Amino acid sequence: MERSLKMLAKEAKSRMKKGFWAQCERDLDACRRDARAQGISEGKAERYFLEKVADTIRGDLPDEFYLRVKKLLLEEGEVSDAIGRLTDRAYYATLSYAEKQRYTLELSEKYLEALKRFRREYPFERGKGEK
């Protein structure tokens, strides 16, 4: 659903009234402190933080596949059978041989992208729960 200009303005006004930007400033300062404490570039931490704020404003929903990959990586690390664990078995059983090959290749590509994203984001998320 596309949001109208009027709706976007109303949302922006609501964010201002509720102190969204003041909270963002406090969170950004905390993000910078955590980055310094972990020896991570503050610039990278800021870019990560700003991307998350932009996602919040846009109302982007979390990527379900990425969340599955993230859970797998946090619980078990990088495992050799990650693609097998991420495969939708019921759907896979309905595919022809060629479709199974294509599905596996596409799943592998998605997994590699999710793994890159996890490696990029994890240092910044790690500090949140370890305080």
Co-location of 51 and 111 in the same domain = no
> Among 117, 122, 128, 123, which Cα is nearest to 38's?
123
pTM: 0.58
Together in a domain, 55 and 66: no
Last residue of a domain, one of 30, 60, 90: 60
Contact criterion met (CB below 8 Å) for 45 and 35: yes
Q: Tens digit of pLDDT for each residue in 63-93?
A: 889 899 999 999 998 999 999 999 999 999 9
pLDDT band at 31 (very low <50, low <70, confident <90, very high): confident
pLDDT band at 1 (very low <50, low <70, confident <90, very high): low
Structural domain boundaries enclosing 11: 1-60
| Same domain assignment for residues 7 and 71 | no
Indicate the average pLDDT of the chain. Answer: 85
Q: Give the pLDDT of residue 92.
A: 92
Q: Single out the residue in 60, 83, 101 at which a domain terminates.
A: 60
For residues 93 and 123, membership in a common domain is answered with yes
Same domain, residue pair 68 and 53:
no
Question: Do 12 and 74 have their domain in common?
Answer: no
Where b means 16+ CB within 10 Å and e means fewer, 56-92 reads: eeeeeeeeeebeebbebbeeeeeeeebeeebeeeeee
